[in-house]
A and B are shown apart, each in its own frame.
Chain A
Amino acid sequence: MLNDTVLKASDLNKSFSGIVAAKDINVSINQGEIVGIIGANGAGKTVFVNMITGYLKPTSGKIEFLGEDITGIEPRNATHIGLCRSFQISQVFMTMSVKQNLMIAMSLSKKSGKALLDPIADEEISKECDKILELYKIMDQSNNIVSTLSQGIRKLLDIAMAVVGNPKVILLDEPTSGVSVEEKFGIMDIVIAALKQTETSVLFVEHDMEIVERYVDRVIAFYQGEIICDAPPKVALSDKKVIEYVLGH
Protein backbone atom coordinates (compact mmCIF):
# COMPACT_ATOMS: atom_id res chain seq x y z
CA MET A 1 0.00 0.00 0.00
CA LEU A 2 1.20 3.47 -0.83
CA ASN A 3 2.24 5.62 2.04
CA ASP A 4 -0.09 8.48 1.35
CA THR A 5 -3.24 6.43 0.85
CA VAL A 6 -5.69 7.67 3.46
CA LEU A 7 -8.84 5.82 2.54
CA LYS A 8 -9.28 2.49 0.86
CA ALA A 9 -12.45 0.57 0.05
CA SER A 10 -12.19 -3.01 -1.14
CA ASP A 11 -14.97 -5.07 -2.76
CA LEU A 12 -17.76 -3.10 -1.12
CA ASN A 13 -21.25 -4.43 -1.74
CA LYS A 14 -24.58 -3.20 -0.48
CA SER A 15 -28.07 -4.33 -1.34
CA PHE A 16 -31.45 -3.37 0.03
CA SER A 17 -33.82 -6.33 -0.16
CA GLY A 18 -32.87 -7.16 -3.75
CA ILE A 19 -31.89 -3.70 -4.99
CA VAL A 20 -28.14 -3.56 -5.53
CA ALA A 21 -26.95 -0.12 -4.44
CA ALA A 22 -23.22 -0.86 -4.42
CA LYS A 23 -21.37 -3.55 -6.33
CA ASP A 24 -17.70 -4.53 -6.01
CA ILE A 25 -16.48 -1.07 -5.24
CA ASN A 26 -12.70 -0.67 -5.08
CA VAL A 27 -11.21 2.77 -4.54
CA SER A 28 -8.28 4.26 -2.75
CA ILE A 29 -7.91 7.92 -2.01
CA ASN A 30 -4.64 9.75 -1.48
CA GLN A 31 -3.88 12.52 0.91
CA GLY A 32 -4.85 15.97 -0.31
CA GLU A 33 -6.64 14.63 -3.37
CA ILE A 34 -9.81 16.30 -4.60
CA VAL A 35 -12.15 13.76 -6.11
CA GLY A 36 -15.47 14.30 -7.86
CA ILE A 37 -18.09 11.58 -7.61
CA ILE A 38 -20.58 11.63 -10.45
CA GLY A 39 -23.49 9.47 -11.55
CA ALA A 40 -27.17 9.70 -12.47
CA ASN A 41 -29.93 9.78 -9.85
CA GLY A 42 -29.99 6.54 -7.89
CA ALA A 43 -26.54 5.48 -9.09
CA GLY A 44 -25.38 4.82 -5.52
CA LYS A 45 -23.35 7.92 -4.72
CA THR A 46 -25.02 8.66 -1.40
CA VAL A 47 -24.95 5.00 -0.44
CA PHE A 48 -21.19 5.07 -1.02
CA VAL A 49 -20.77 8.14 1.20
CA ASN A 50 -23.03 6.57 3.82
CA MET A 51 -21.04 3.36 3.91
CA ILE A 52 -17.70 5.13 4.22
CA THR A 53 -18.90 7.29 7.10
CA GLY A 54 -20.65 4.47 8.94
CA TYR A 55 -24.28 5.47 8.42
CA LEU A 56 -24.83 2.24 6.45
CA LYS A 57 -23.04 -1.03 6.99
CA PRO A 58 -21.85 -2.68 3.77
CA THR A 59 -23.27 -6.13 3.07
CA SER A 60 -19.73 -7.24 2.39
CA GLY A 61 -16.32 -5.72 1.79
CA LYS A 62 -13.78 -3.76 3.76
CA ILE A 63 -13.07 -0.10 4.43
CA GLU A 64 -9.66 1.03 5.65
CA PHE A 65 -8.77 4.45 6.97
CA LEU A 66 -5.10 5.30 7.60
CA GLY A 67 -4.38 1.60 7.40
CA GLU A 68 -6.98 0.58 9.97
CA ASP A 69 -10.06 -1.50 9.27
CA ILE A 70 -13.08 0.70 10.00
CA THR A 71 -15.81 -1.32 8.29
CA GLY A 72 -19.14 -0.74 10.04
CA ILE A 73 -17.80 2.05 12.29
CA GLU A 74 -20.35 4.22 14.12
CA PRO A 75 -20.72 7.66 12.50
CA ARG A 76 -19.60 9.41 15.70
CA ASN A 77 -16.40 7.35 15.77
CA ALA A 78 -15.76 8.12 12.11
CA THR A 79 -15.87 11.77 13.13
CA HIS A 80 -13.44 11.15 15.99
CA ILE A 81 -10.83 9.57 13.73
CA GLY A 82 -11.06 12.38 11.17
CA LEU A 83 -13.49 11.09 8.59
CA CYS A 84 -16.23 13.67 8.23
CA ARG A 85 -19.06 14.49 5.89
CA SER A 86 -21.69 16.98 4.88
CA PHE A 87 -25.16 16.09 3.66
CA GLN A 88 -27.18 16.21 0.46
CA ILE A 89 -29.95 17.87 2.47
CA SER A 90 -28.24 20.15 5.02
CA GLN A 91 -28.32 18.65 8.49
CA VAL A 92 -28.06 21.66 10.74
CA PHE A 93 -29.83 22.81 13.89
CA MET A 94 -32.63 24.84 12.38
CA THR A 95 -33.85 26.59 15.52
CA MET A 96 -30.43 27.91 16.47
CA SER A 97 -28.22 30.67 15.12
CA VAL A 98 -25.31 30.01 12.77
CA LYS A 99 -22.83 30.72 15.55
CA GLN A 100 -24.63 28.42 18.00
CA ASN A 101 -24.54 25.62 15.47
CA LEU A 102 -20.83 26.04 15.06
CA MET A 103 -20.19 26.46 18.79
CA ILE A 104 -21.79 23.09 19.47
CA ALA A 105 -19.78 21.44 16.71
CA MET A 106 -16.55 23.05 17.91
CA SER A 107 -17.10 22.22 21.60
CA LEU A 108 -17.82 18.60 20.80
CA SER A 109 -14.68 18.31 18.75
CA LYS A 110 -12.45 20.03 21.32
CA LYS A 111 -13.87 18.74 24.58
CA SER A 112 -14.80 15.41 26.03
CA GLY A 113 -15.83 13.83 29.33
CA LYS A 114 -16.37 16.23 32.23
CA ALA A 115 -15.31 19.25 30.18
CA LEU A 116 -18.60 18.91 28.32
CA LEU A 117 -20.28 20.15 31.50
CA ASP A 118 -18.44 23.47 31.34
CA PRO A 119 -20.36 26.44 29.96
CA ILE A 120 -20.55 26.35 26.19
CA ALA A 121 -19.80 30.06 26.07
CA ASP A 122 -16.00 29.85 25.93
CA GLU A 123 -13.70 32.63 24.63
CA GLU A 124 -11.26 30.32 22.93
CA ILE A 125 -13.88 28.22 21.21
CA SER A 126 -15.79 31.30 20.20
CA LYS A 127 -12.66 32.72 18.55
CA GLU A 128 -12.00 29.48 16.69
CA CYS A 129 -15.59 29.54 15.46
CA ASP A 130 -15.19 33.10 14.22
CA LYS A 131 -12.14 32.03 12.23
CA ILE A 132 -14.16 29.34 10.49
CA LEU A 133 -17.07 31.71 9.93
CA GLU A 134 -14.64 34.11 8.25
CA LEU A 135 -13.09 31.34 6.19
CA TYR A 136 -16.49 30.20 4.97
CA LYS A 137 -17.66 33.77 4.54
CA ILE A 138 -20.77 33.47 6.69
CA MET A 139 -19.63 35.78 9.46
CA ASP A 140 -22.32 38.32 8.56
CA GLN A 141 -24.98 35.66 9.19
CA SER A 142 -23.49 34.67 12.54
CA ASN A 143 -26.45 35.66 14.71
CA ASN A 144 -29.25 34.71 12.35
CA ILE A 145 -31.45 31.70 13.00
CA VAL A 146 -30.70 29.01 10.44
CA SER A 147 -34.31 28.36 9.44
CA THR A 148 -34.49 31.92 8.10
CA LEU A 149 -31.44 31.54 5.86
CA SER A 150 -30.97 30.53 2.22
CA GLN A 151 -30.00 27.02 1.10
CA GLY A 152 -26.57 28.28 0.11
CA ILE A 153 -25.76 29.54 3.60
CA ARG A 154 -27.09 26.32 5.14
CA LYS A 155 -24.85 24.28 2.86
CA LEU A 156 -21.83 26.33 3.86
CA LEU A 157 -22.70 25.97 7.52
CA ASP A 158 -23.21 22.25 7.09
CA ILE A 159 -19.72 21.94 5.64
CA ALA A 160 -18.20 24.31 8.20
CA MET A 161 -19.63 22.11 10.98
CA ALA A 162 -17.97 19.08 9.42
CA VAL A 163 -14.51 20.64 9.26
CA VAL A 164 -14.19 21.90 12.85
CA GLY A 165 -12.19 18.86 13.87
CA ASN A 166 -9.71 19.22 10.97
CA PRO A 167 -10.65 15.95 9.27
CA LYS A 168 -8.19 13.94 7.16
CA VAL A 169 -10.91 13.11 4.68
CA ILE A 170 -14.16 14.94 4.06
CA LEU A 171 -17.01 13.68 1.95
CA LEU A 172 -19.40 16.32 0.66
CA ASP A 173 -22.70 14.98 -0.63
CA GLU A 174 -23.86 17.42 -3.31
CA PRO A 175 -22.54 20.61 -1.72
CA THR A 176 -24.35 22.71 -4.34
CA SER A 177 -27.71 20.95 -4.63
CA GLY A 178 -30.69 23.18 -4.04
CA VAL A 179 -28.52 26.23 -4.60
CA SER A 180 -29.08 28.73 -7.41
CA VAL A 181 -26.78 28.57 -10.45
CA GLU A 182 -25.23 31.97 -9.64
CA GLU A 183 -24.42 30.87 -6.08
CA LYS A 184 -22.90 27.50 -7.02
CA PHE A 185 -19.42 28.60 -8.08
CA GLY A 186 -19.23 31.05 -5.22
CA ILE A 187 -19.87 28.28 -2.74
CA MET A 188 -17.41 25.88 -4.32
CA ASP A 189 -14.72 28.58 -4.49
CA ILE A 190 -15.11 29.21 -0.78
CA VAL A 191 -15.15 25.55 0.19
CA ILE A 192 -12.28 24.39 -1.97
CA ALA A 193 -10.13 27.39 -1.03
CA ALA A 194 -10.76 26.68 2.66
CA LEU A 195 -10.04 22.97 2.37
CA LYS A 196 -6.92 23.46 0.24
CA GLN A 197 -5.31 25.29 3.15
CA THR A 198 -5.23 21.95 4.97
CA GLU A 199 -4.08 18.55 3.85
CA THR A 200 -7.65 17.31 3.73
CA SER A 201 -8.69 14.90 1.00
CA VAL A 202 -12.02 15.93 -0.44
CA LEU A 203 -14.58 13.69 -2.11
CA PHE A 204 -17.60 15.51 -3.36
CA VAL A 205 -20.68 14.31 -5.13
CA GLU A 206 -21.74 16.62 -7.94
CA HIS A 207 -24.18 16.70 -10.84
CA ASP A 208 -22.83 19.83 -12.49
CA MET A 209 -19.97 18.86 -14.83
CA GLU A 210 -18.70 22.42 -15.10
CA ILE A 211 -18.02 22.34 -11.39
CA VAL A 212 -16.43 18.92 -11.60
CA GLU A 213 -14.11 20.06 -14.36
CA ARG A 214 -13.09 23.17 -12.58
CA TYR A 215 -12.21 21.76 -9.16
CA VAL A 216 -11.25 18.09 -9.18
CA ASP A 217 -8.06 16.11 -9.77
CA ARG A 218 -9.90 12.90 -10.34
CA VAL A 219 -13.39 11.68 -11.23
CA ILE A 220 -15.15 8.54 -10.05
CA ALA A 221 -18.29 7.71 -12.02
CA PHE A 222 -21.06 5.49 -10.64
CA TYR A 223 -23.68 3.60 -12.55
CA GLN A 224 -26.13 1.21 -10.90
CA GLY A 225 -23.93 0.80 -7.87
CA GLU A 226 -20.76 0.12 -9.85
CA ILE A 227 -17.76 2.30 -10.59
CA ILE A 228 -17.61 2.57 -14.36
CA CYS A 229 -14.76 5.02 -14.59
CA ASP A 230 -12.00 6.31 -12.32
CA ALA A 231 -9.73 8.78 -14.09
CA PRO A 232 -8.65 12.43 -14.34
CA PRO A 233 -11.54 14.71 -15.37
CA LYS A 234 -10.44 15.23 -18.98
CA VAL A 235 -10.34 11.49 -19.59
CA ALA A 236 -13.40 10.63 -17.57
CA LEU A 237 -15.71 13.19 -19.08
CA SER A 238 -14.93 12.00 -22.58
CA ASP A 239 -15.23 8.32 -21.67
CA LYS A 240 -17.85 6.54 -23.78
CA LYS A 241 -19.58 4.84 -20.84
CA VAL A 242 -19.62 8.02 -18.80
CA ILE A 243 -21.13 9.94 -21.68
CA GLU A 244 -23.80 7.32 -22.16
CA TYR A 245 -24.74 6.45 -18.54
CA VAL A 246 -23.91 9.60 -16.59
CA LEU A 247 -24.14 12.55 -18.91
CA GLY A 248 -27.01 10.94 -20.81
CA HIS A 249 -26.23 11.72 -24.39
Chain B
Amino acid sequence: MFTGIFKDTSVRILITFMIVLCVLSSLVLPDWMQNNFMYGLSRGLAILGLMLLWRTNLVSFGHALYYGFGAYAVALCQKYFGITDILLRFAIAVIAAGLLGFCLGFILRKYREIFFAMLSLAFSMVLYGLLAKAEFLGSTDGMSISPSTLLGMELTRQYLFYLITFFVICAAISIQAYLRSTLGHLTTAIQDNEIRVEYLGYSVQKAIHIKYVMSACLAGGAGGLMAASLGQVDPDSMVNWNVSGELVFITIMSGWGNILAPFIGAIIFEFIRTYAFEWAPQAWAAIVGGTLLAIIFFFPGGIWSVIEKVFNYGKKKNVK
Protein backbone atom coordinates (compact mmCIF):
# COMPACT_ATOMS: atom_id res chain seq x y z
CA MET B 1 0.00 0.00 0.00
CA PHE B 2 2.75 2.42 0.93
CA THR B 3 5.39 1.40 -1.61
CA GLY B 4 7.05 4.46 -3.08
CA ILE B 5 4.72 6.83 -1.26
CA PHE B 6 7.61 9.17 -0.40
CA LYS B 7 8.24 9.74 -4.09
CA ASP B 8 4.76 11.26 -4.32
CA THR B 9 4.94 15.01 -4.89
CA SER B 10 1.96 15.77 -2.66
CA VAL B 11 3.49 13.80 0.18
CA ARG B 12 6.80 15.61 -0.23
CA ILE B 13 5.13 18.99 -0.21
CA LEU B 14 3.10 18.04 2.86
CA ILE B 15 6.12 16.87 4.83
CA THR B 16 8.13 19.95 3.89
CA PHE B 17 5.27 22.19 4.95
CA MET B 18 4.94 20.45 8.31
CA ILE B 19 8.67 20.58 8.99
CA VAL B 20 8.71 24.30 8.21
CA LEU B 21 5.81 24.78 10.62
CA CYS B 22 7.64 22.88 13.36
CA VAL B 23 10.79 24.93 12.90
CA LEU B 24 8.84 28.19 12.89
CA SER B 25 6.92 27.19 15.96
CA SER B 26 10.05 26.28 17.92
CA LEU B 27 11.91 29.44 16.91
CA VAL B 28 9.72 32.43 16.31
CA LEU B 29 6.00 31.90 16.76
CA PRO B 30 4.28 33.60 19.70
CA ASP B 31 2.04 31.35 21.82
CA TRP B 32 -1.25 32.53 20.40
CA MET B 33 -0.08 31.83 16.86
CA GLN B 34 1.22 28.45 17.84
CA ASN B 35 -2.20 27.67 19.29
CA ASN B 36 -3.90 28.70 16.09
CA PHE B 37 -1.65 26.41 14.08
CA MET B 38 -2.30 23.58 16.50
CA TYR B 39 -6.07 23.99 16.32
CA GLY B 40 -5.93 24.35 12.57
CA LEU B 41 -3.87 21.21 12.10
CA SER B 42 -6.11 19.21 14.44
CA ARG B 43 -9.28 20.36 12.81
CA GLY B 44 -7.69 19.87 9.40
CA LEU B 45 -7.91 16.12 9.97
CA ALA B 46 -11.70 16.36 10.08
CA ILE B 47 -11.62 18.48 6.92
CA LEU B 48 -9.49 15.86 5.22
CA GLY B 49 -12.23 13.35 6.09
CA LEU B 50 -14.92 15.56 4.61
CA MET B 51 -12.81 16.08 1.52
CA LEU B 52 -12.74 12.33 1.01
CA LEU B 53 -16.52 12.19 1.08
CA TRP B 54 -16.80 15.25 -1.12
CA ARG B 55 -14.81 13.46 -3.79
CA THR B 56 -17.74 11.08 -4.11
CA ASN B 57 -20.18 13.99 -4.13
CA LEU B 58 -21.23 13.24 -0.58
CA VAL B 59 -21.51 16.05 1.93
CA SER B 60 -22.01 15.32 5.59
CA PHE B 61 -23.66 18.09 7.59
CA GLY B 62 -23.21 16.11 10.77
CA HIS B 63 -19.53 15.36 11.00
CA ALA B 64 -19.35 17.01 14.40
CA LEU B 65 -20.87 13.71 15.50
CA TYR B 66 -17.50 12.01 15.06
CA TYR B 67 -15.48 15.05 15.99
CA GLY B 68 -17.36 15.30 19.28
CA PHE B 69 -17.38 11.55 19.78
CA GLY B 70 -13.61 11.44 19.53
CA ALA B 71 -13.26 14.36 21.92
CA TYR B 72 -15.64 12.86 24.48
CA ALA B 73 -13.96 9.46 24.17
CA VAL B 74 -10.76 11.16 25.29
CA ALA B 75 -12.59 12.87 28.15
CA LEU B 76 -14.26 9.66 29.32
CA CYS B 77 -11.06 7.64 29.20
CA GLN B 78 -9.40 10.28 31.33
CA LYS B 79 -12.28 10.32 33.83
CA TYR B 80 -12.67 6.56 34.24
CA PHE B 81 -9.27 5.12 33.35
CA GLY B 82 -6.98 8.07 33.98
CA ILE B 83 -5.61 7.88 30.46
CA THR B 84 -3.69 11.02 29.52
CA ASP B 85 -1.07 9.61 27.16
CA ILE B 86 -1.32 11.49 23.87
CA LEU B 87 -0.69 8.41 21.72
CA LEU B 88 -3.46 6.55 23.52
CA ARG B 89 -5.73 9.56 23.36
CA PHE B 90 -5.32 9.84 19.62
CA ALA B 91 -5.78 6.11 19.12
CA ILE B 92 -8.88 6.01 21.33
CA ALA B 93 -10.48 8.97 19.56
CA VAL B 94 -9.80 7.47 16.13
CA ILE B 95 -11.02 3.99 17.05
CA ALA B 96 -14.12 5.16 18.91
CA ALA B 97 -15.23 7.38 16.04
CA GLY B 98 -14.31 4.69 13.53
CA LEU B 99 -16.50 2.13 15.31
CA LEU B 100 -19.40 4.54 15.45
CA GLY B 101 -18.89 5.34 11.76
CA PHE B 102 -18.73 1.64 10.96
CA CYS B 103 -22.11 1.02 12.63
CA LEU B 104 -23.89 4.06 11.22
CA GLY B 105 -22.25 3.43 7.86
CA PHE B 106 -24.59 0.50 7.29
CA ILE B 107 -27.45 2.98 7.22
CA LEU B 108 -25.75 5.93 5.55
CA ARG B 109 -24.23 4.01 2.68
CA LYS B 110 -27.69 3.55 1.22
CA TYR B 111 -28.33 7.29 0.95
CA ARG B 112 -27.05 10.03 -1.34
CA GLU B 113 -27.22 13.77 -1.71
CA ILE B 114 -29.50 15.68 0.64
CA PHE B 115 -30.60 12.55 2.49
CA PHE B 116 -27.03 11.59 3.23
CA ALA B 117 -26.25 15.12 4.38
CA MET B 118 -29.27 15.41 6.61
CA LEU B 119 -29.16 11.90 8.03
CA SER B 120 -25.71 12.50 9.42
CA LEU B 121 -26.94 15.80 10.83
CA ALA B 122 -29.80 13.98 12.52
CA PHE B 123 -27.43 11.54 14.21
CA SER B 124 -25.22 14.36 15.43
CA MET B 125 -28.23 16.16 16.92
CA VAL B 126 -29.14 13.02 18.84
CA LEU B 127 -25.64 12.87 20.30
CA TYR B 128 -25.81 16.56 21.13
CA GLY B 129 -29.09 16.05 22.95
CA LEU B 130 -27.68 13.16 24.94
CA LEU B 131 -24.48 14.98 25.89
CA ALA B 132 -26.28 18.16 26.90
CA LYS B 133 -28.49 16.14 29.25
CA ALA B 134 -25.84 13.81 30.65
CA GLU B 135 -24.91 15.02 34.16
CA PHE B 136 -21.93 12.69 34.45
CA LEU B 137 -20.45 14.27 31.31
CA GLY B 138 -20.90 17.76 32.67
CA SER B 139 -24.03 18.55 30.62
CA THR B 140 -23.66 21.76 28.65
CA ASP B 141 -20.59 22.82 30.66
CA GLY B 142 -18.64 19.85 29.41
CA MET B 143 -15.51 18.55 31.03
CA SER B 144 -11.98 19.73 31.35
CA ILE B 145 -9.09 17.74 29.94
CA SER B 146 -5.82 17.60 31.79
CA PRO B 147 -2.56 18.19 29.92
CA SER B 148 -1.36 15.23 27.88
CA THR B 149 1.57 13.02 28.75
CA LEU B 150 3.82 10.93 26.57
CA LEU B 151 4.98 7.56 27.92
CA GLY B 152 4.58 8.83 31.47
CA MET B 153 6.35 12.15 30.94
CA GLU B 154 4.72 15.56 30.99
CA LEU B 155 4.27 16.97 27.53
CA THR B 156 5.12 20.60 26.92
CA ARG B 157 3.01 22.62 24.51
CA GLN B 158 5.91 22.61 22.08
CA TYR B 159 6.11 18.83 22.05
CA LEU B 160 2.36 18.53 21.74
CA PHE B 161 2.73 20.68 18.61
CA TYR B 162 5.34 18.32 17.17
CA LEU B 163 3.21 15.31 17.92
CA ILE B 164 0.15 16.82 16.29
CA THR B 165 2.13 17.50 13.13
CA PHE B 166 3.38 13.93 13.31
CA PHE B 167 -0.18 12.58 13.53
CA VAL B 168 -1.22 14.83 10.68
CA ILE B 169 1.63 13.58 8.49
CA CYS B 170 0.78 9.93 9.20
CA ALA B 171 -2.90 10.45 8.51
CA ALA B 172 -2.39 12.47 5.36
CA ILE B 173 0.11 9.96 3.94
CA SER B 174 -2.36 7.14 4.57
CA ILE B 175 -5.05 9.06 2.77
CA GLN B 176 -2.75 9.82 -0.16
CA ALA B 177 -1.90 6.11 -0.38
CA TYR B 178 -5.60 5.35 -0.41
CA LEU B 179 -6.36 7.95 -3.06
CA ARG B 180 -3.79 6.59 -5.50
CA SER B 181 -5.02 3.01 -5.01
CA THR B 182 -7.66 1.21 -7.03
CA LEU B 183 -10.13 1.64 -4.20
CA GLY B 184 -9.31 5.33 -4.04
CA HIS B 185 -9.92 5.75 -7.74
CA LEU B 186 -13.32 4.21 -7.31
CA THR B 187 -14.06 7.34 -5.33
CA THR B 188 -14.29 9.51 -8.40
CA ALA B 189 -15.66 6.63 -10.43
CA ILE B 190 -18.65 6.29 -8.13
CA GLN B 191 -19.34 9.98 -8.42
CA ASP B 192 -19.30 9.52 -12.20
CA ASN B 193 -21.31 6.35 -12.59
CA GLU B 194 -22.49 3.99 -9.84
CA ILE B 195 -24.06 1.46 -12.19
CA ARG B 196 -20.82 0.93 -14.03
CA VAL B 197 -18.89 0.40 -10.80
CA GLU B 198 -21.34 -2.33 -9.79
CA TYR B 199 -20.98 -3.98 -13.18
CA LEU B 200 -17.22 -3.85 -12.89
CA GLY B 201 -17.69 -6.14 -9.94
CA TYR B 202 -17.36 -3.90 -6.88
CA SER B 203 -20.06 -2.98 -4.40
CA VAL B 204 -20.68 0.75 -4.45
CA GLN B 205 -22.13 0.63 -0.96
CA LYS B 206 -19.07 -1.13 0.36
CA ALA B 207 -16.74 1.41 -1.25
CA ILE B 208 -18.75 4.24 0.30
CA HIS B 209 -18.82 2.49 3.66
CA ILE B 210 -15.04 2.11 3.71
CA LYS B 211 -14.62 5.75 2.86
CA TYR B 212 -17.17 6.77 5.44
CA VAL B 213 -15.34 4.92 8.20
CA MET B 214 -12.04 6.52 7.16
CA SER B 215 -13.68 9.89 7.26
CA ALA B 216 -15.17 9.17 10.71
CA CYS B 217 -11.75 8.09 12.00
CA LEU B 218 -10.20 11.32 10.77
CA ALA B 219 -12.93 13.45 12.35
CA GLY B 220 -12.62 11.49 15.59
CA GLY B 221 -8.85 11.96 15.61
CA ALA B 222 -9.37 15.67 15.01
CA GLY B 223 -11.76 15.86 17.97
CA GLY B 224 -9.35 13.97 20.18
CA LEU B 225 -6.43 16.25 19.35
CA MET B 226 -8.61 19.32 19.70
CA ALA B 227 -9.71 18.19 23.15
CA ALA B 228 -6.09 17.66 24.11
CA SER B 229 -4.94 21.03 22.83
CA LEU B 230 -7.94 23.04 24.09
CA GLY B 231 -8.02 21.28 27.47
CA GLN B 232 -11.80 21.24 27.37
CA VAL B 233 -14.71 19.46 25.77
CA ASP B 234 -18.32 20.62 25.69
CA PRO B 235 -21.31 19.87 23.49
CA ASP B 236 -21.62 23.36 22.04
CA SER B 237 -18.13 23.67 20.68
CA MET B 238 -17.72 19.99 19.77
CA VAL B 239 -21.00 18.43 18.67
CA ASN B 240 -23.53 21.15 17.88
CA TRP B 241 -24.79 21.56 14.33
CA ASN B 242 -22.91 24.82 13.83
CA VAL B 243 -19.66 22.92 14.39
CA SER B 244 -20.63 20.57 11.55
CA GLY B 245 -21.47 23.60 9.44
CA GLU B 246 -18.09 25.13 10.18
CA LEU B 247 -16.37 21.93 9.09
CA VAL B 248 -18.25 21.91 5.79
CA PHE B 249 -17.45 25.60 5.37
CA ILE B 250 -13.72 25.02 5.82
CA THR B 251 -13.89 22.09 3.41
CA ILE B 252 -15.37 24.23 0.67
CA MET B 253 -12.92 27.00 1.46
CA SER B 254 -9.95 24.60 1.28
CA GLY B 255 -10.84 22.84 -1.95
CA TRP B 256 -10.31 19.19 -2.68
CA GLY B 257 -7.28 19.33 -4.90
CA ASN B 258 -4.64 18.07 -2.50
CA ILE B 259 -4.10 16.43 0.90
CA LEU B 260 -2.42 19.57 2.17
CA ALA B 261 -5.38 21.79 1.30
CA PRO B 262 -7.53 20.90 4.34
CA PHE B 263 -4.76 21.87 6.73
CA ILE B 264 -4.02 25.16 5.05
CA GLY B 265 -7.74 25.91 4.95
CA ALA B 266 -8.23 25.04 8.60
CA ILE B 267 -5.24 27.14 9.68
CA ILE B 268 -6.43 30.14 7.68
CA PHE B 269 -9.84 29.72 9.24
CA GLU B 270 -8.35 29.88 12.75
CA PHE B 271 -6.58 33.11 11.90
CA ILE B 272 -9.62 34.68 10.29
CA ARG B 273 -11.58 33.84 13.41
CA THR B 274 -8.99 35.23 15.80
CA TYR B 275 -8.73 38.52 13.95
CA ALA B 276 -12.45 38.76 13.39
CA PHE B 277 -13.19 38.41 17.09
CA GLU B 278 -10.57 40.98 17.89
CA TRP B 279 -11.47 43.65 15.35
CA ALA B 280 -15.12 43.07 14.51
CA PRO B 281 -16.72 40.81 17.09
CA GLN B 282 -20.22 41.49 15.79
CA ALA B 283 -19.40 40.71 12.19
CA TRP B 284 -18.33 37.07 12.43
CA ALA B 285 -21.34 35.68 10.57
CA ALA B 286 -21.01 38.30 7.86
CA ILE B 287 -17.32 37.53 7.41
CA VAL B 288 -17.97 33.81 7.11
CA GLY B 289 -20.81 34.40 4.67
CA GLY B 290 -18.80 36.86 2.60
CA THR B 291 -15.81 34.53 2.38
CA LEU B 292 -18.04 31.69 1.27
CA LEU B 293 -19.62 33.83 -1.43
CA ALA B 294 -16.26 35.00 -2.67
CA ILE B 295 -15.00 31.43 -2.89
CA ILE B 296 -18.05 30.05 -4.63
CA PHE B 297 -18.11 32.86 -7.18
CA PHE B 298 -14.41 33.41 -7.79
CA PHE B 299 -12.51 30.31 -6.65
CA PRO B 300 -14.79 27.29 -6.81
CA GLY B 301 -11.72 25.10 -6.41
CA GLY B 302 -11.04 26.69 -3.02
CA ILE B 303 -7.80 28.00 -1.60
CA TRP B 304 -5.90 25.12 -3.14
CA SER B 305 -6.82 26.21 -6.66
CA VAL B 306 -5.45 29.67 -5.89
CA ILE B 307 -2.20 28.19 -4.62
CA GLU B 308 -1.95 26.02 -7.72
CA LYS B 309 -2.53 28.99 -9.99
CA VAL B 310 0.17 31.01 -8.27
CA PHE B 311 2.69 28.18 -8.61
CA ASN B 312 1.79 27.36 -12.21
CA TYR B 313 2.09 31.02 -13.06
CA GLY B 314 5.61 30.98 -11.69
CA LYS B 315 6.44 27.84 -13.67
CA LYS B 316 5.28 29.24 -16.98
CA LYS B 317 7.43 32.31 -16.47
CA ASN B 318 10.46 30.14 -15.80
CA VAL B 319 9.97 28.29 -19.06
CA LYS B 320 10.06 31.53 -21.00
Contact = CB atoms under 8 A, between A and B. Distances in A.
Given A104-B185, A117-B178, A121-B180, A95 B192 contact: yes
Nearest to B196: A91
A105 B189 CA distance: 10
Interface stretch (B112-120, B199-207, B271-279): B199-207
B153 interface: no
Interface string B166-178: 0000000000011
A92 interface: yes
A129 to B, nearest CB: 13
Nearest to A94: B192
Which secondary structure dominates where chain B touches chain A?
A: helix
B201 A117 contact: no
A119 B3 contact: yes
Nearest to B203: A76
A74 B197 CA distance: 12
Contacts of B189: 93, 96, 104
A72 interface: no
A116 B200 CA distance: 13
Contacts of B186: 104, 108
Nearest to B8: A119
A85 interface: yes
Nearest to B201: A79
A33 B198 CA distance: 26
A222 to B, nearest CB: 22
Q: For the side of the interface on B, what is the size category?
A: 20 to 34
Contacts of B199: 53, 75-76, 78-79, 84-85, 91, 162
Contacts of B4: 119
| Residue among B184, B188, B201 with most chain A CB within 10 A | B201
A226 to B, nearest CB: 27
Contacts, number: 89
B162 to A, nearest CB: 29
A100 B188 CA distance: 11
A118 interface: yes
A161 interface: yes
B183 interface: yes
Interface string A107-124: 111010011111111000
Interface in A104-157: 104-105, 107-109, 111, 114-121
Interface string B1-39: 101100000000000000000000000000000000000
A109 B199 CA distance: 11
B198 A75 contact: yes
Contacts of A240: none
Interface in A71-91: 74-80, 84-85, 87, 91
B306 to A, nearest CB: 22
Nearest to A53: B199
Given A79-B201, A93-B189, A95-B188, A161 B196 contact: yes
Contacts of A225: none
A119 B196 contact: no
Contact of B1 (A80, A109, A118): A118
Interface string B270-294: 0000000000000000000000000
B4 to A, nearest CB: 7
A96 B184 CA distance: 14
Given A93-B193, A94-B192, A96-B189, A117 B200 contact: no
Contacts of A104: 182, 185-186, 189, 200
Contacts of A111: 182
Contacts of B242: none
Nearest to A100: B185
A165 interface: yes
Interface in B208-232: none
Nearest to B206: A76
Contact of A79 (B185, B193, B200): B200
A93 B188 contact: yes
A119 B183 CA distance: 9
Contacts of A118: 1, 3, 181-182
Contacts of B191: 95
Contacts of A53: 199
Q: Which 9 A-B pairs have the closest CB atoms?
A: A79-B201, A107-B182, A93-B192, A91-B196, A117-B1, A116-B183, A116-B182, A117-B181, A108-B200
25 contacts: A53-B199, A79-B199, A84-B199, A85-B199, A91-B193, A91-B196, A92-B193, A93-B189, A93-B192, A94-B192, A94-B193, A95-B188, A100-B185, A104-B182, A108-B200, A114-B1, A117-B177, A118-B1, A118-B3, A119-B177, A120-B180, A120-B181, A120-B182, A120-B184, A162-B199
Given A91-B199, A120-B185, 20 more contacts: A53-B199, A75-B198, A79-B199, A79-B201, A80-B201, A87-B195, A91-B196, A92-B193, A93-B192, A104-B186, A107-B182, A107-B185, A109-B201, A116-B182, A117-B1, A117-B177, A117-B178, A117-B183, A119-B3, A161-B196
Interface of B: 1, 3-4, 177-178, 180-186, 188-189, 191-193, 195-196, 198-203
